[in-house]
């Protein structure tokens, strides 16, 4: 990701179950998860700024059927990129 206006997202369509994610980043990033329903987005995981240089950040959340978006944004005003490696999956529980 370059510059503060640029971000990346990972979209998962889920049945009822558990959304599980893990990611690492090379610098500060804003991370949040939203649920999209009828064109509206509702936060299900609050936006937080994290730096995960050595250890992966991971978590899980019980979800209902729908579309979920994991959003990553570079919060800095510099041209230094932040590299993000991310994986997410929904498991039936």
Indicate which CATH number applies to the domain containing 24. 2.60.120.680
What's the pLDDT score for residue 14? 87
User: pTM for the full model?
Assistant: 0.84
Residue 88's φ and ψ, nearest 5 degrees, are -150, 150
Residue 2 lies in a domain: no
Structure confidence at residue 28 (pLDDT): 87
The predicted model gives 60-68 an average pLDDT of 95
Percentage of the chain beyond pLDDT 90 is 52
Domain count, the chain: 1
Burial string for 64-81 (b: 16+ CB within 10 Å, else e) reads: eeeebebbbbbeeeeeee
Structural domain containing residue 20: 7-91
Q: What is the DSSP letter of 78?
A: S
Residue 24: inside a domain, yes or no? Answer: yes
Residue 1, pLDDT above cutoff 70: no
- What mean pLDDT, rounded, does the chain reach? 87
User: Closest by alpha carbon to 60, among 81, 79, 88?
Assistant: 88
């Amino acid at each position: 990701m370059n510059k503060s206006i640029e971000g990346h997202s990972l979209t998962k369509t889920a049945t009822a179950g558990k959304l599980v994610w893990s990611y690492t980043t090379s610098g500060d990033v804003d991370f949040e998860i939203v649920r999209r329903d009828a064109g509206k987005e509702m936060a299900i995981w609050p936006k937080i700024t994290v730096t995960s240089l050595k250890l992966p950040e991971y978590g899980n959340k019980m979800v209902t059927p729908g579309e979920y978006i994991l959003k990553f944004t570079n919060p800095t005003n510099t041209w230094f990129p932040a590299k993000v490696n991310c994986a997410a999956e929904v498991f039936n529980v």
